[in-house]
Structure 1
Amino acid sequence: MTATPAPPELRQLVLQALMEPDPQRKVLLAQSLRSQAATLSIAHYRHPEVPAGLPGCPARPELRSHLDVPKRSPFTPQGLAALLHAVTHIEFNAVKIAFNLGI
């Protein structure tokens, strides 16, 4: 009798995507998760292995002037997504700074 392989575990795959520093690879991992959504399991009985390091931060992010970024209206889906993305980055960095300061 052959054992049926366990379905991929959702939390471990999401953590892998979050920890990926390369943006193109991160997108591919996210797309893969989406395509596997119906087949993923959640192992309630165990916690995923957490790798060391900061999640998804490139070694040296590209800094750009605000003048190089296209203007978008927050009243369109793309503009709202860009605004939420920017606020998320600001909040993430605020949390990192607070940890560094020991707050």
Structure 2
Amino acid sequence: MNHSVTPCPATVHAIELRQAALYWLAVPDPAQKAAGVRLLAQQWQQGLLALDADHALQAGLTCPIPGRPQRPLLVAPLSVPRRSMANVEGRAVLLHALAHIEFNAINLALDALWRFAGMPAAYYADWLQVAAEEALHFSLLQAHLMSQGFAYGDFPAHDSLWELAEKTQHDVLARIALVPRTMEARGLDASPPMRAKLAQAGDHAAAAILDTILRDEIG
């Protein structure tokens, strides 16, 4: 099995799917990453990307993964701010938590794409679809936060999902089992009751975003 090291972002533009996934995983800017992943999915659907499933890739040593912005501040789960529907900021805390889950879900999907060689083509296609859906969700949430005067990174968040990814980096079956955990975490915030509370509070745009997330979650 051949090995190759993929350089940091801004030094390579891959035309092979798994190399491209590693490239975008290392990009720290959330908006750039989300847009790039959605474009990557389009390129794959148009047949513009090759797939080398047998090639063992290695991340660049000077390029940490996942690429993440300096904010949000990562804290213990119990230190994450409480959420309230009583005011705009409280609802922003809720949507920020959901955006953080979606951002981590993008990284989890990209990591599953590049890290595990020797899988069927459908495995890579499925994870790419997941990454693209999460990228859409993140973009919708980020845009809505900005319309309310906030942005991703404004509130502390925890790192539990990526910590699980690190624990499963050598076991593809364990990584696949992370999917229900990710969905469970999202479900705490994107549940129908939460959607109803947002609508009741008058934030119909946020409720519509949760409709999209719930629709994609069901499949």
Normalised to the residue count of structure 1, the TM-score between the two structures is 0.56
For 1:70, the aligned partner's letter is L
Q: Does 1:56 align with 2:56?
A: no
Gaps of 5+ in 1: 1-6, 72-81, 98-103
CA displacement at 1:16 relative to structure 2 = 1.0
CA displacement at 1:48 relative to structure 2 = 3.2
Separation of aligned partners in 1, 2:82 and 2:163: 17
Match for residue 40 of structure 2 among 12, 30, 33: 33
String of CA shifts for 1:42-63, please: whole Å, max 9, x gaps: 12353335223131222x2224
Match for residue 93 of structure 1 among 163, 166, 190: 163
1:65 matched residue in structure 2: 81
2:53 matched residue in structure 1: 44
Residues 10 and 96 of structure 1, relative CA distance in 2, 3 Å threshold: closer
Separation of aligned partners in 2, 1:14 and 1:61: 22
For 1:90, the aligned partner's letter is S
CA displacement at 1:94 relative to structure 2 = 5.5
Residues 92 and 49 of structure 1, relative CA distance in 2, 3 Å threshold: closer
More helix, by proportion: 2
Task: Report 1:1-20 matches (<5 A).
Answer: 8-20=15-27
Would you say the 8 A contact 2:28–2:66 is kept in 1?
yes
Gaps of 5+ in 2: 1-13, 74-79, 84-89, 106-158, 168-219
Percent identity, please.
23
What is the Cα-based RMSD across aligned positions, in Å? Answer: 3.4
Aligned residues: 80
CA displacement at 1:13 relative to structure 2 = 0.6
Residues 51 and 66 of structure 1, relative CA distance in 2, 3 Å threshold: farther
Secondary structure at the counterpart of residue 13 of structure 1: helix
CA displacement at 1:96 relative to structure 2 = 5.8
Would you say the 8 A contact 2:30–2:68 is kept in 1?
no
Normalised to the residue count of structure 2, the TM-score between the two structures is 0.30
Would you say the 8 A contact 2:17–2:50 is kept in 1?
yes
Separation of aligned partners in 1, 2:54 and 2:161: 31
Would you say the 8 A contact 1:10–1:42 is kept in 2?
yes
